[in-house]
Amino acid sequence: MTDPHTPLSPQPAPHAAPADQRSAFIRLAVIVAAGVLASIVTGVGKTVAVVFALILMIMLHEAGHFLMAKAAGMKVTEFFVGFGQRLWSVRKGETEYGIKAIPAGGYVKIVGMSTLEEVADEDEPRTYRQQGYWRRLSVAVAGSTVHFILAFLLLWTLFSVAGRPDYDHPLPVVDSITSFTTGPSPAQQAGFKVGDRILAVDGTPLANWDDLPTYIQARPETPIEFDVQRAGRRITLTATPVDLAKVKVDGAPRVSKPTGFVGIGPKIPVQKDGVFAGVKDAGTGLWKFTTATVGAIGHIFSPKGVSGYVSQLSGRAPAGDKGNGGGDNRFISPVGFVRIAGQAADSGLRDVLILLAGINVFVGVFNMIPLLPFDGGHVAIATYEAIRSRKGRRYFVDGRKAMAAAYPVVVLLILIAATSLYIDLVRPLANPFR
């Protein structure tokens, strides 16, 4: 997701008449409304909501560039979400706002982004290229800054509002029951139900859940009596654990020695931070996300990472197989994102927040790669120009050389887009939220 602030930017099209604008807006509104209604009817409304959240992120990214450019006095002629065919637009003052057909990014058109762009004499003082270093820098980093701010807010919401699972202190309450493909599990045969609170096991009071797995594993094929509380009543259930050394259970580890298994899972309590504790934890989480993202991007473009990616394309390494260069060694296409968005939506709000925070951090970091057409390329150019400039003599990077350097990167991005789509179609990632 990049901003075509370079000479690669599309040229403004003739502006539509007000009547055509209204017609286009009505058509777009009808299409969006129909899409939302269809998503609700077909049961994918949550997935569509996550996708819309991504589109909103794109809009906010571009809004960051737009607001900083306006604050610096630059002339902004276009603010569009999407690429390709113009679906709808409206002009307010000197800026045209609109939506295009392919929601795979967006752009803000600021006049005079390079020395190649011809600008009217009266607009030259308001071009990007004529501004001081710090103003150009503020515009270039604004998009990624917005992503880091969004990631921080999402993590704060996770820690302080939605809460995070406290896996270290599981409650002695049944929250999940395993179902075997070959028949009922011991938990189902015993009559366990979600919500049962286990009070005692074989007559011994159960203080916490952590004592239960070891007890069950040590008693394969031996009946165990569970005293449980259900709807205010105390009842006794008898379950006979299967032996995992003899029976294969999906999701359970393969073992070589006798190990008991009943098929009940604990309720995980949710821990919520206070407002200020959430700020601290969100900052820590943002730092961990950022360092992990930098490492992952470095791995992708390392010799080992490239080799692993080629292996995935050729089918020698399955997608998600970290031991063979998979897993971390791939990009996600829009098709893959929609699939993962649906999986996160089905998993719950917390996983949606984690997914969106991770995407924001990734885009924020990736967009700062110091090459055009990324925003980091504009940071690099502005910095290089500042270093080469002397008092009273401003240095400008040759626009032709900048374009020549940008084209290979664009080709690489197209290649990444095509190959990631192929991998997502033929070898999709396993559900990361299970």
Average pLDDT, the chain: 85
Whether the per-residue pLDDT at 272 is higher than 60: the answer is: yes
Domain assignment present for 30: no
Whether the per-residue pLDDT at 32 is higher than 80: the answer is: no
Structural domain that includes position 187: 171-268
For residue 358, report the phi and psi dihedrals to the nearest 5 degrees.
-65, -40
Whether the per-residue pLDDT at 434 is higher than 80: the answer is: no
Q: Is 171 exposed, middle or buried (0-12, 13-18, 19+ CB in 10 A)?
A: middle
Query: What is the pLDDT, as a whole number, of residue 369?
Result: 94
Confidence of residue 27 (pLDDT cuts 50, 70, 90): low
Whether the per-residue pLDDT at 350 is higher than 60: the answer is: yes
Whether the per-residue pLDDT at 389 is higher than 70: the answer is: yes
Domain assignment present for 206: yes
Report the number of distinct structural domains present in the chain.
1
Confidence of residue 322 (pLDDT cuts 50, 70, 90): very low
For residue 291, report the phi and psi dihedrals to the nearest 5 degrees.
-65, -40
Domain assignment present for 182: yes
Tell me what the mean pLDDT of segment 299-311 comes to: 87
Query: What is the pLDDT, as a whole number, of residue 6?
Result: 41
Domain assignment present for 344: no
Residue 245: give its domain's CATH number.
2.30.42.10
Domain assignment present for 249: yes
Query: What is the pLDDT, as a whole number, of residue 4?
Result: 43
Domain assignment present for 239: yes
Domain assignment present for 183: yes
pLDDT tens track for 65-88: 999 999 999 999 999 988 888 888
Tell me what the mean pLDDT of segment 12-28 comes to: 59
Domain assignment present for 191: yes
